[in-house]
Amino acid sequence: MSLALGCFFFLTGIDVFAAKETAMSRTRPLYKLQQVDLELESVSRRLQEIDATLGESTELKRARKMAADAEAHLVKCRSEMQNLDLEVDGLSQKIETNEGRLYSGRVANPKELASLEEEAASLKRWREKKEEDLLEAMVSCEENEAALADAQAILAQVNETWRAEQGDLADEQTNLQVRLEELREGRESLIAAVGPDDVTIYERLRPRKGGRAVAAVKDGICEGCRMNPPSSQVQHARSGSELEFCNNCGRVLHVL
């Protein structure tokens, strides 16, 4: 074979290859655009989830309220215990004063003595009741102290976990925001590489096809509907200059 003839076949091969690339390039940027749009939706959705999650969680608020309630109960219990202790001391002083008069010998009137004795007995009964109440209050305070310690321990654990999660979410949010800008810039570049008519078709199909206007064809199967398009249609999608649409799902076919 002559050198000229060899060059002819070599150049012809390049032209055929270039023709295929040109034909395929019409769906390739559309397919890449779709991949970018799908990731954009995923990233945006995740950012919304993070925005809703950042801040105090329901679990943290509940744990903080439990600790606050336990502390309030303890404060109230200690206040009641202090009041009861003061009442017991006051009654003891009254009993001491009453018995001082009763046994001083200065009161000789039988009626007055009987009144003092009755008052002393009443004061002692009342003090006994208050001492029982004081004992119950002391036990209640001990229980509330234990409840507060438990609530504070739970709050500390929940808070520690929450802080770690918030830090992770903040880092993820920063990374996703960077990725979002990258995708937006990449989308602009892809839009510029796609013909305006194809962009119009793509944008019209997207909402009707669940965000997937382009369906890849792999091993002869449309990945949009999992059906087998006619081989002639697949061949046209691979080598033709016009967009081919799946006969079953209506998506633009892109042969991988």
- pLDDT tens digits for range 89-144: 999 999 888 888 777 777 677 787 788 788 888 999 999 999 999 999 999 999 99
What is the band of 153 on the pLDDT scale with cuts at 50, 70, 90?
A: very high
What angle do helix axes 28-53 and 196-205 make, rounded to 10 degrees?
Answer: 50
**Ranges of CATH 1.10.287.1490 domains, the chain:** 25-54+195-256
Query: Spelled out in words, what is the top-level CATH class assigned to the domain 25-54+195-256?
Result: mainly alpha
> Is residue 221 scored above 90 in pLDDT?
yes
CA-to-CA distance for 28 and 24, rounded, in angstroms? 6
Give yes or no for a contact between 194 and 202, defined as CB atoms under 8 angstroms apart.
yes
What angle do helix axes 231-239 and 3-24 make, rounded to 10 degrees?
Answer: 110
In CATH terms, is domain 55-193 a member of 1.10.287.1700? Answer: yes
What is the band of 23 on the pLDDT scale with cuts at 50, 70, 90?
A: very low
pTM metric for this prediction: 0.63
Instruction: Give me the pLDDT at residue 120, please.
Output: 85
- What mean pLDDT is predicted for residues 160-173? 94
Better-scored residue on pLDDT, 184 or 20: 184
Q: Which ranges of the chain does DSSP label H, i.e. alpha helix?
A: 3-24, 28-53, 58-102, 110-193, 196-205, 231-239
> Is residue 216 scored above 60 in pLDDT?
yes
**Ranges of CATH 1.10.287.1700 domains, the chain:** 55-193
